[in-house]
């Protein structure tokens, strides 16, 4: 993909004296990670196709501080939080959507005490609301009848009790949704949370993402659906480790919807 997608920034909106309907919080993975950037683009395409008036913070966005907080660095977390809140409050942000459950959890739960109170949605919740409002159509297209299993991101599921929004969207794709034996509140972590993404695992006899990939492979899926850029990386690595990358794709829910419609 080399075409430029129109992505307005808050600064541009401000210059025109307008306010968007929603701020799209892209997050660090969505901005810099090659795999996650594809998710970001797919989500933006869906926003355009649903005529959502959105903007990003662009160069004014900075890490929410989640990995620093989970690593124990409360100072760095709060410095990040307070800086981000200052920017968002200056733009009088009311509603935020993000494709990263870690950003989602932090913005939604840990920013209010520091003065940043927004209506925060995960992108699967937001897409579900667009669907319910009739602004977005989700159709099976090329995924119709495919076996898909959904891996619950810890920070969306257990952390915030969001289990159904991504599943409702997948069902709309007319796919065969197969649950892993450990799913929803019993879902096994991919191994990336709590800042593990950024360090080598402690000594053990297996990597967590391999354990989780084995759960997914048991369902004999065509596609493993994820709702988190970090889970996506971990599961993609797991599938490669099992040498199944030719037959099994790991895709974000937003990518599935966008690709189904050839957006």
Partner 1 sequence: MQYIPNILFVIALVAGIGYFIKNIRKVIRNIRLGKDVDRSDDKAARFKNMAMIALGQSKMVRRPIAGILHIVVYIGFIIINIEVLEIIIDGIFGTHRIFSFLGPLYDFLIGSFEILAFLVFVGVILFWTRRNVIKLKRFWNPEMKGWPKNDGNLILYFEMVLMTLFLVMNAADLQLQELGSGHYISAGSYPISQFISPLFEGMSEGSLILLERGAWWLHILGILVFLNYLYFSKHLHILLAFPNTYYGDLKPKGQLDNLEAVTKEVMLMMDPNADPFAAPAEDQAEEGEPEKFGASDVMDLNWAQLLNAYTCTECGRCTSECPANQTGKKLSPRKIMMDTRDRLKEVGDNIDKNGSFVDDGKQLLNDYISTEELWACTSCNACVEACPVSISPLSIIMDMRRYLVMEESAAPTDLNNMMSNIENNGAPWPFNQMDRVNWSKE
Site residues for partner 1, window 33-72 (CB under 8 A)?
33, 37, 40-41, 44, 56, 58-59, 61-63, 65, 67-72
* Residues 208 to 237 in contact with partner 1, rule: CB under 8 A: 208, 210-212
First to last CA, the chain: 12
DSSP β-ladder status, 223-226 and 95-98: unpaired
Handedness of CA 173, 219, 236, 186 (dihedral sign): positive
Stretch that binds partner 1, among 3-11, 13-21, 90-98, 167-175 (CB under 8 A): 3-11
Contact 254, 39 (CB under 8 A): yes
Nearer to partner 1, 47 or 131 (CB): 47
Number of residues that bind partner 1 (CB under 8 A): 78
Binding of partner 1 at residue 188 (CB under 8 A)? Answer: yes
Nearer to partner 1, 6 or 133 (CB): 6
| Maximum CA extent, the chain | 57
Nearer to partner 1, 22 or 154 (CB): 154
Residues 242, 243, 249, 250: what is their CA dihedral angle, to the nearest 10 degrees?
40
Q: How far is the CB of 83 from partner 1 (least distance, A)?
A: 8
Stretch that binds partner 1, among 127-135, 141-149, 169-177, 185-193 (CB under 8 A): 185-193
* Residues 108 to 137 in contact with partner 1, rule: CB under 8 A: 108-110, 113-114
Binding of partner 1 at residue 205 (CB under 8 A)? Answer: yes
Tokens describing residue 194: 């709590």
Name the helix (H) or strand (E) containing 177. strand 176-177
Residue 87's Cβ-count burial label (10 Å; 0-12, 13-18, 19+) is middle
Exactly one of 26, 127, 148, 170 binds partner 1 (CB under 8 A); that residue is 26
Q: How many residues does the chain have?
A: 263
Nearer to partner 1, 8 or 140 (CB): 8
Stretch that binds partner 1, among 78-86, 117-125, 173-181, 250-258 (CB under 8 A): 78-86
Closest CA to 214 of 246, 191, 196: 191
């Amino acid at each position: 993909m080399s075409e430029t997608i129109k992505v307005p920034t808050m600064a541009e909106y401000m210059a025109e004296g307008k306010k968007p309907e929603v701020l799209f919080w892209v997050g660090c993975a969505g901005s810099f990670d090659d795999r996650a950037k594809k998710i970001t683009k797919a989500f933006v395409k869906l926003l355009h196709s649903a005529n959502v008036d959105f903007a990003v913070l662009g160069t004014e966005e900075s890490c929410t501080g989640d990995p620093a907080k989970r690593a124990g660095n409360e100072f760095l977390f709060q410095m990040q939080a307070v800086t981000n809140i200052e920017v968002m409050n200056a733009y009088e942000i009311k509603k935020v959507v993000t494709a990263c459950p870690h950003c989602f959890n932090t913005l939604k739960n840990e920013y209010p005490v520091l003065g940043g109170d927004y209506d925060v949605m995960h992108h699967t919740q937001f897409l579900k609301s667009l669907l319910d409002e009739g602004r977005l159509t989700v159709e099976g297209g090329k995924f119709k009848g495919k076996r898909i299993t959904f891996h619950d991101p810890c920070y969306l599921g257990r952390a915030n009790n969001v289990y159904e929004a991504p599943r409702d969207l997948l069902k709309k794709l007319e796919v065969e949704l197969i649950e892993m034996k450990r799913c929803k509140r019993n879902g096994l972590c991919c191994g990336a949370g709590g800042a593990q993404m950024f360090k080598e695992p402690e000594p053990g006899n297996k990597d967590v993402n391999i354990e989780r990939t084995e759960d997914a492979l048991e369902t004999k899926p065509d596609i493993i659906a994820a709702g988190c850029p970090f889970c996506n990386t971990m599961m993609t690595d797991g599938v490669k480790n099992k040498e199944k990358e030719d037959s099994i794709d790991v895709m974000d829910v937003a990518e599935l919807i966008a690709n189904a419609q050839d957006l």
